[in-house]
Amino acid sequence: MIHKFTLYGTNMVVDVNSGAVHIFDEVAFEVLDYYKKCDSTEIVDKLCAKYEKAQILEAIQELEELESRGELFYEDAYRDYLNLWDRKPVVKALCLHVSHDCNLRCKYCFAATGNFGGERTNMDPEIGKRAIDFLIQQSGNRRNLEIDFFGGEPLLNFEAVKEVVAYALSKEKEHNKKFKFTLTTNALLLNEEHKKYINEHIQNIVLSIDGRAETNDRMRFRLDGSGTYESIIPKIKDLADSRNQDNYYVRGTFTRENLDFASDVLHLADQGFEQISVEPVVAAKGTGYDIREEDLPVLFKEYEKLAYEYVDRRKSGQFFNFFHFMIDLSQGPCVAKRLGGCGSGHEYLAITPEGDIYPCHQFVGMDEFKMGNVNEATLDDRIQNKFKDTNIYTKPECVKCWAKFYCSGGCAANSYQFHNDINIPYSIGCELEKKRVECALWIKTQE
């Protein structure tokens, strides 16, 4: 399978199954349309009015060379390996919901403004410690383990964060594990004490901000309706600088109300942030701010615009990373990882303040997905295996898709939200992902 596209005058060809990426000139790009369907004479006949015969034959020869190297029309050889990688599931990451309360009432919150449809509660540190024990117990021989402190708003229960971190670190040597911690916060409560602790103990921090003040404050506001931009911007700038502009992300959401989201990304870059992630909202139809099919052409243009500016700025020394444009072509994840996706439901689980276990933060509160409780150290392996056995080959839409090894089948929660089935991808998400990958590949050609 191949995918060919042109962006800003660059003709690109992705050989999906081998992972090869090529730039083609006009002749080769056009010859490729006929290469598998016609012989050399027929191709020359079809294209001789436009190109010289010698050029056409050269292009054909080069395509043959790529094919012989396994870098063009390489067959999908990976399905046969699924059994080889089919092992007993291990858990290697937990999303700890240390607080199901929030000091904001963001309009688009998937967590029902922080409580996930339940009580507004904080996690007792003892529950957090049981979650660490549970992770160690479920992690088999995996050495690298991850904990993400999430909410609601985790700074509303920062003492629990500190206790759980200390407990996890105290268990590392005994169990030969290495913990990494991340924390996702709206930054409103962020103070010097938090900053010091976070910089010493938390390897990655995600700071929520949507971009320009009017964009941010339209969606992200306090209980009294007041927006957060003015309060958080100095705090998160300071935190980002204190981490040498690394090991953090400013992370925003765009909605139908700011389809010109590239301006929000660039606004964040203009504020000096170098690690930026701004993503499409996943919202139900009828909310008014949900992304619709008819918005896609506008959003595609925005991604293209952002890609162009991204290259231009980086060339002129105004460096920033955009999370979805970062693709490591040569040192990226192995094919086993790419087949399976994010690991939700088997490698990655979410824990509520009560210790209940769910496939990921986005499934929290859905009774049919409750997998157990850390206090009882139970785990429903029926649900775990269902998620483990889901991969790009169990999703008919993914099998056909050229971008499957870049996105790895998309988000299970989004699939379930739109189709009640984790094997049917959310199509708007797919279209946006494909556009982002095209832009990311084009960016590679400009480096």
Say if residues 147 and 179 touch (Cβ distance below 8 Å). yes
Q: Which of 232, 229, 224, 245 is nearest to 191 (CA)?
A: 232
In the complex with another protein, the residue whose CB is nearer, 193 or 329, is 329
In the complex with another protein, the residue whose CB is nearer, 60 or 188, is 60
Residue whose tokens read 């964040």: 268
In the complex with another protein, the residue whose CB is nearer, 71 or 124, is 71
Give the CB-side neighbour count of residue 143, counting CA atoms within 13 A.
3
From residue 104, how far is each of 15, 252, 279 by CA, in Å? Answer: 46, 15, 19
Q: How far is the CB of 148 from another protein (least distance, A)?
A: 5
Q: Phi/psi of residue 175, each to 5°? A: -110, 5
The C-alpha angle with vertex 285 and arms to 282 and 290, in degrees rounded to 5, equals 45
Q: How far is the CB of 413 from another protein (least distance, A)?
A: 8
Say if residues 108 and 219 touch (Cβ distance below 8 Å). yes
Q: Which of 390, 393, 219 is nearest to 290 (CA)?
A: 219
Helices 427-445, 296-315: axis angle to 10 degrees equals 30
In the complex with another protein, the residue whose CB is nearer, 109 or 124, is 109
Q: How far is the CB of 87 from another protein (least distance, A)?
A: 8
In the complex with another protein, the residue whose CB is nearer, 267 or 324, is 324
Beta-carbon contacts of 266 under 8 Å, excluding residues fewer than 6 positions away, are 306, 309
In the complex with another protein, the residue whose CB is nearer, 38 or 90, is 90
Distance of alpha carbon 71 from alpha carbon 74, whole angstroms: 6
Written as six digits, the tokens of 2 are 């191949």
In the complex with another protein, the residue whose CB is nearer, 178 or 191, is 178
The H or E element spanning position 7 is: strand 2-7
DSSP letter (8 states) at residue 81:
G
In the complex with another protein, the residue whose CB is nearer, 31 or 188, is 31
Q: How far is the CB of 360 from another protein (least distance, A)?
A: 7
DSSP letter (8 states) at residue 374:
T
| 433 CB neighbour count, 10 Å cutoff | 21
Q: How far is the CB of 324 from another protein (least distance, A)?
A: 6
Q: How far is the CB of 169 from another protein (least distance, A)?
A: 18
In the complex with another protein, the residue whose CB is nearer, 124 or 289, is 289
From residue 379, how far is each of 179, 242, 368, 373, 385 by CA, in Å? Answer: 21, 40, 14, 7, 11
Q: How far is the CB of 361 from another protein (least distance, A)?
A: 7
Q: How far is the CB of 224 from another protein (least distance, A)?
A: 26
Q: How far is the CB of 52 from another protein (least distance, A)?
A: 12
